[in-house]
């Protein structure tokens, strides 16, 4: 199973809503990532979890709150978002982050988020 | 100099032709290099890791030039299905950096 799954595929939310994005992988990978991608731009790294611990937070606003309940699951909790947060949110996983360089990352299909 | 640079294109190439892209990086301590392809409104998919000795996978060849700090991707006998955006990824020092991507259009 070489698949990363994400739910929901699409999400529309108001600025006062609280919602969560979910990501799951069953490849035994120990590193998981959240990215944000705007149209015609490359993915921007948000968070990295390594062995279920947050290892990198790329100065992401606190209205985005990641959670790693176990080695297969990664959530992104959303609260009080702004319209400019509308984007494709991609989850990825890799075997581990590694000290000799990063391993290949496998991406989920993403959640297309619209904030009204 | 930007950390990772790619020519945005678009490269408009007739079917069957050979096309090559480069990606330059600024951090000489970078450790890992990858090429991904991304179709419109889809997720990036790993195309190839780039090894120091160069590597080939079918019609695709990737090379790393550490002295000049660039990686390259060569596509031979291009197919219509090769039309996509090609992203280079460079990492090291706890950073993962995506290039802005090169758009490729294969013309029938």
**How far are the Cα atoms of A9, A92, A114 from residue A96, in angstroms, in the given order?**
26, 11, 31
Size of interface A-B (CB pairs under 8 A): 42
How would DSSP label each residue in A68-101? Answer: EEETTEEEEEEES--GGG-EEEEEEEES---SSS
Quote the pLDDT of residue A108: 97
Quote the pLDDT of residue A12: 96
Band (A1; pLDDT cuts 50, 70, 90): low
Quote the pLDDT of residue B96: 84
pLDDT tens, position by position, A38-90:
999 999 999 999 999 998 888 899 999 999 999 999 999 999 999 999 999 99
Mutation for B interface: A27, A95, A102, most B CBs within 10 A: A102
- Say if strands A10-13 and A111-115 run parallel, antiparallel, or are unpaired: parallel
Quote the pLDDT of residue A98: 60
Of the candidates A42, A48, A101, the beta carbon closest to that of B98 is on: A42
Give the separation between CA B79 and CA A44, rounded to whole angstroms: 29
Band (A102; pLDDT cuts 50, 70, 90): low
Quote the pLDDT of residue A103: 79
- Provide, as residue numbers in chain A, all residues whose Cβ is less than 8 Å from the Cβ of B34: 104-105
Give the separation between CA A74 and CA B2, rounded to whole angstroms: 31
Residue B45 near chain A (CB below 8 Å)? yes
Nearest of A17, A29, A9 to residue A77 by alpha carbon? A17
In three-state secondary structure terms, A103 is coil
pLDDT tens, position by position, B74-87:
999 999 999 999 99
Are the beta carbons of B31 and A108 separated by less than 8 Å? no
């Amino acid at each position: 199973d070489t698949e990363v799954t994400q739910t929901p595929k699409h999400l529309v939310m108001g600025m006062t809503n609280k919602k969560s994005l979910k990501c799951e992988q069953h490849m035994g990978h120990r590193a998981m990532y959240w990215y944000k991608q705007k149209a015609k731009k490359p993915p921007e790294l948000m968070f990295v979890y390594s062995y279920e611990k947050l290892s990198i937070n790329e100065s992401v606003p606190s209205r985005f709150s990641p959670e790693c309940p176990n080695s297969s699951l990664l959530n992104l909790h959303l609260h009080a978002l702004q319209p400019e947060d509308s984007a494709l949110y991609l989850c990825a996983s890799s075997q581990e982050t590694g000290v000799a360089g990063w391993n290949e990352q496998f991406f989920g299909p993403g959640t297309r988020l619209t904030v009204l | 100099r930007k950390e990772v640079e790619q020519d945005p294109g678009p490269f408009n190439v007739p079917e069957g032709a050979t096309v090559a892209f480069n990606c330059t990086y600024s951090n000489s301590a970078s450790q890992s290099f990858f090429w991904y392809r991304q179709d419109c409104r889809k997720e990036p998919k790993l195309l190839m890791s780039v090894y120091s000795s160069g590597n080939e996978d079918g019609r695709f060849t990737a090379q790393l030039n550490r002295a000049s700090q660039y990686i390259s991707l060569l596509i031979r006998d291009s197919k219509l299905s090769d039309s996509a955006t090609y992203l280079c990824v460079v990492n090291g020092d706890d950073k993962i950096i995506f290039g802005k991507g090169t758009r490729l259009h294969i013309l029938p």
